[in-house]
Structures are given as structure tokens and as C-alpha cells.
Amino acid sequence: MNVKLFLAAAVFNGAAILSTMVSAEQLDDIKSAGTLNCGVLTNSPPLGFQDPKTREPAGYEIELCNMFAKYIGVKPLLIPVSPQTRMAELTQGRVDILASLLSYSKERAEQVDFSGAYIAEDFNFVVLDSSNIKTVDDLSAQRIGLVKGSVLIPLTEKRLPDARVLSFETSAASFLALQQGKVKATVYRYSEGRAVQRNAGDKIKGLRFLDEPLLSMPSGFAFRKGSPVLVKTADEFLASIEKSGEGQKLYDKWLGKDSDLKATRKFDFGKPQSTWFAN
């Protein structure tokens, strides 16, 4: 056998074994500590929020992290993170896992490892119910309010090249601009838009979702890069709750028929997120 090829193969196989050992050690470390440090959102109902009665984190992703911790035989420690800091919290080792509505993208997948999906929702343009806007095409040449830095900005500009996108610092500011008529539309994922409308109270102007989705985006657990054993374990967990029906029960409780959102699940727990973007 060619010596160079032999050495190259040895180096490759050694690196593969080392990678598996490192990832196994991450899972072993979590089990040894007896705690899974879960990075969660606490301001995105019904996915993750602070229960006003107990002052404890609650919601769809909170329960998922609790269930996964039980699956691997440890206790969950819920650590609040923000959309701006969650990736750093994970990559710098302050949390072991993110259950924080981190949408999959190829760019993010270069920085962290994703499990399969545990949620997938459409993102739709939202207008005032009293608006004369009926279809997405009616938004051409109109002002659309989006959060600064959002992945939705280039997608909106591609779908509506003649529209004028206005950037706001927060989703709340974009919502206010819509209520005040400063923009004709914004974009929400279904659960977010319904929650915003519900939490804003009876005095707001009603909202209406336009039928054509801008995109459908999955989210799942995220782990530090180089974590194949953790990812495999998470995928096995998600597949198990898909098969047992526990996933559907959880979905119905927070998003589906048993909630005020009445959403319909259009995904399988554990489905690889990259398949959403295969084409």
C-alpha cells in the first residue's frame, strides 16, 4: 500500500475516532454532572415564557428540554438566553443545549450542530384586518416593517422587490408601526403573530394573515459543533415522542387543538432540518 495513502487514512480515521470520543465525553460529562443546562427563551409565548403565577419558565420548548433531560437521565437547569446572545452562550460553553427557537440555516449549521426538527411553522405577511391588502402581491410598492438584521429582510426584498422595507430594533416596534399605519405589513411566524395579538389586548386593531407563506422554517435543539453523539441521542428522543404520541400531546397543549392557537402540525418530530432546503 502506498505509504502516503496509508498515513492519510490513518490520520483521517484517527480524527474520526477522536471526534466521536470528544462528543461522547460531552454526553458523559452531562450525565456525570447530573444536569442538562438548557438555554431557553422566556419572552416568546407559547414556546418559552415566564409563567406569571409561578415566575418559572414555561412553554412548549421548556417542556421539550425537560423531557429530553429525563430521557438521558439527568435534571434540567433552565437558563434564560436572548435571541442576540444564544449562539454565544452555546459555543462558549455556558449552556449544553439550546431550545430557543433557533431556526435552521446552512450558515448556522456551520457554527452549531442541529437535531432534527421539533417545530416547523410558516412565516406569513400580516396586515391590519381593515386593510385593503388581500394578497402578497398587493404589498408591492408598500412599506413593510421588519426587525433589524432578520433573515426575513432579504427574503421579503426578493419576493417583493418594489416594496420598501423599514427596519425596527424590536418586534414590538414593528408591531406598533403597523398599528399606527406607518407600515402596511410585517411578517410573523404563526404562533408569534397569534400570541402578539392575544397579549396586546382588546384595544388593538385586528390582524389578518395573508394566505401565501413567505417561507416555512424548522427549529430544533442546537449543540456545540462536533456533537454527533448528542445529536443522535436527541434525534432518537424526538423519534420516540413522534412514535409514542407524546409529541402530538405536547403540540396540542401549547399550539394545537387544546390551545387557543388551534394550529395544525405539519411536521414530524426528528425530521432532518436540512431536508427543508434540499431544493
Domains of the chain: 3-121+217-277 (3.40.190.10), 123-215 (3.40.190.10)
Instruction: Name the grid cell of 169.
Output: 430594533
- Consecutive H or E run containing 145: strand 143-147
For residues 202 and 3, give the distance between their C-alpha atoms in angstroms, rounded to a whole number.
76
Instruction: Name the grid cell of 150.
Output: 432578520
Give the model's pLDDT for residue 202. Answer: 74
DSSP, collapsed to helix, strand or coil, labels residue 177 as: helix
Rg (CA), the chain: 21
Q: Report if pTM > 0.75.
A: yes
Question: What's the pLDDT tens digit per position in 214-238?
Answer: 988 899 999 999 999 999 999 999 9
Confidence of residue 277 (pLDDT cuts 50, 70, 90): low
The C-alpha angle with vertex 64 and arms to 58 and 66, in degrees rounded to 5, equals 75
Average pLDDT on 38-59 reads: 92
For residues 118 and 113, give the distance between their C-alpha atoms in angstroms, rounded to a whole number.
15
Q: How far is CA 96 from CA 132, 144, 250, in A?
A: 48, 37, 23
pLDDT exceeds cutoff 50 at 11 = no
- Residue 103 in contact with residue 127, Cβ under 8 Å? no
Question: What's the pLDDT tens digit per position in 157-177?
Answer: 999 999 999 999 887 889 999
Sorted by sequence, the CB contacts under 8 Å of residue 80 that are 6+ apart come out as 39, 40, 41, 42, 57
Q: How many residues does the chain have?
A: 279
